[in-house]
Amino acid sequence: MRPARALIDLQALRHNYQLAREVTGAKALAVVKADAYGHGAVRVAQALEAEADGFAVACIEEALELRAAGISAPVLLLEGFFEADELPLIIEHDLWCVVHSLWQLDAIEQARLSKPLTVWLKLDSGMHRVGLHPKDYHEAYQRLLASGKVAKIVLMSHFARADELDCVRSDEQVAVFEAARKGLAAEVSLRNSPSVLGWPAMSSDWVRPGIMLYGATPFGEEQALAARLQPVMTLESKVICVRELPAGEPVGYGAKFVTSKPMRIGVVAMGYADGYPRHAPTGTPVLVAGQRSQLLGRVSMDMLCVDLTDVPQAGLGSTVELWGKNILASDVAVAAETIPYQIFCNLRRVPRLYCGA
């Protein structure tokens, strides 16, 4: 069997969820969109269900996967419905629904619903992606109430730059939100992972942690609370071939790396078809036989090469951690000029093994 695998530590997942609760004192929707950022939405939701206040996903397909697996906790659709004909399913499966646009509000008014909806009414407080314009916010709230089709409304918004710890933009967004919701007596949900970890003074009845659940920091710098996160996924494989090369020999496609001295090189069963970033350059950290080393040359589809020159204990069959508790996914992301979100979401082909259930 090919030795590439992703170990998912559900105990670490629960630790990170509790941290989001503990530092905010708020109710927390565990964000499990995109197959729980590559960790497996059903297994992640099952592991958290006993303690989680609910879950959040990107679309009804993802929500129905959780329901089909028997998850009965609240599930929020972060973009609401894409077409009005999803509304009967939303009711049938008891899903919570974001309303971010006036067309969705029209659709709710026009729909015939067998039960009232729970709506999270989203304000565009300055990110300018989705969300109602502040001038429309009060009226949208009143229209939802007047429709008679809504049992509960939560007021929400989303931050564009909460991962930038010295940026004033998040405070400006809060000010826009506070002004827009003035006089509306409803619960509030503002905070994603970077604002949970980095903006302690911000208040929010509901928080929406995503990346922090999986143990990766959303910040590009050291941060005290982020340092308490426990990595959940360990992506590992094994050395399947070892070669000794003299100086001046190229390694891998395109000869992107050429030995500068006699070197020992290990070939690892891991490639971009598994989601390892192809753009990770020579020097990207890896752990081989318990020791830090580096990637060499271009990542290919099913294999990549690592430096064994200074890892004498490593050889054929040695375990290689690509990211996990020793090599942080966020550090691999920096090397590959991406973010840990994408590193995790790209995982595929590799079997996931769960522990700490």
CA 226 to CA 19: how far, in whole Å? 10
Q: Under DSSP, is residue 176 helix (H, G, I), strand (E, B) or coil?
A: helix
Q: How far is the CB of 275 from ligand PLP (least distance, A)?
A: 18
Nearest-CA neighbor of 209 among 8, 9, 28? Answer: 28
Asked if residues 204 and 24 have their Cβ atoms less than 8 Å apart, the reply is: yes
CA 159 to CA 124: how far, in whole Å? 9
Asked if residues 207 and 189 have their Cβ atoms less than 8 Å apart, the reply is: yes
The H-assigned helical ranges of the chain are 10-24, 33-37, 41-48, 60-68, 87-92, 102-110, 134-147, 169-181, 193-198, 329-335, 340-345
The answer to whether residue 215 forms part of the interface with ligand PLP (CB under 6 A) is no
CA 150 to CA 160: how far, in whole Å? 29
By C-beta, is 39 or 158 nearer to ligand PLP?
A: 158
Residue 185: partners with Cβ closer than 8 Å, 6 or more residues away: none
Among positions 13, 36, 78, 107, the unique one binding ligand PLP when judged by CB under 6 A: 78
Look up 253 and say whether it is catalytic.
yes
The answer to whether residue 231 forms part of the interface with ligand PLP (CB under 6 A) is no
Phi, psi of 121 (to 5 degrees): -90, 115
Stretch that binds ligand PLP, among 82-90, 144-152, 188-196, 314-322 (CB under 6 A): 188-196
Which residue number has the CB closest to ligand PLP? 210
State the CB neighbour count (10 A cutoff) for residue 309. 18
Look up 33 and say whether it is catalytic.
yes
Q: How far is the CB of 3 from ligand PLP (least distance, A)?
A: 30
Among positions 211, 287, 311, 329, the unique one binding ligand PLP when judged by CB under 6 A: 211
Residue type for position 20: A
DSSP state of 123: B
Q: How far is the CB of 41 from ligand PLP (least distance, A)?
A: 13
| DSSP per-residue codes, 34-51 | HHHHTT-HHHHHHHHTTT
Q: How far is the CB of 296 from ligand PLP (least distance, A)?
A: 32
DSSP state of 132: B
The answer to whether residue 63 forms part of the interface with ligand PLP (CB under 6 A) is no
The answer to whether residue 121 forms part of the interface with ligand PLP (CB under 6 A) is no
The answer to whether residue 173 forms part of the interface with ligand PLP (CB under 6 A) is no
Phi, psi of 194 (to 5 degrees): -60, -30
CA 118 to CA 329: how far, in whole Å? 36
Stretch that binds ligand PLP, among 103-111, 211-219, 250-258, 311-319 (CB under 6 A): 211-219
By C-beta, is 193 or 309 nearer to ligand PLP?
A: 193
Please give the residues from 4 up to 43 whose contact with ligand PLP meets the rule CB under 6 A. Answer: 31, 33
Number of DSSP helices (H) and strands (E) in the chain, helices first: 11, 18
Return binding residues for substrate.
129, 301
Among positions 149, 208, 238, 298, the unique one binding ligand PLP when judged by CB under 6 A: 208
Catalytic residue among 17, 27, 253, 325, which? 253
By C-beta, is 131 or 271 nearer to ligand PLP?
A: 131
Catalytic residue among 33, 122, 149, 238, which? 33
The H-assigned helical ranges of 190-295 are 193-198
Q: How far is the CB of 50 from ligand PLP (least distance, A)?
A: 21
9 CA to centre of own chain: 15
Q: How far is the CB of 118 from ligand PLP (least distance, A)?
A: 16
The interface mask with ligand PLP, positions 132-171, x = CB under 6 A, is --------------------------x-------------
Stretch that binds ligand PLP, among 9-17, 101-109, 166-174, 187-195 (CB under 6 A): 187-195
By C-beta, is 212 or 304 nearer to ligand PLP?
A: 212
Contacting positions for ligand PLP (CB under 6 A): 31, 33, 78, 158, 192-194, 208-212, 218
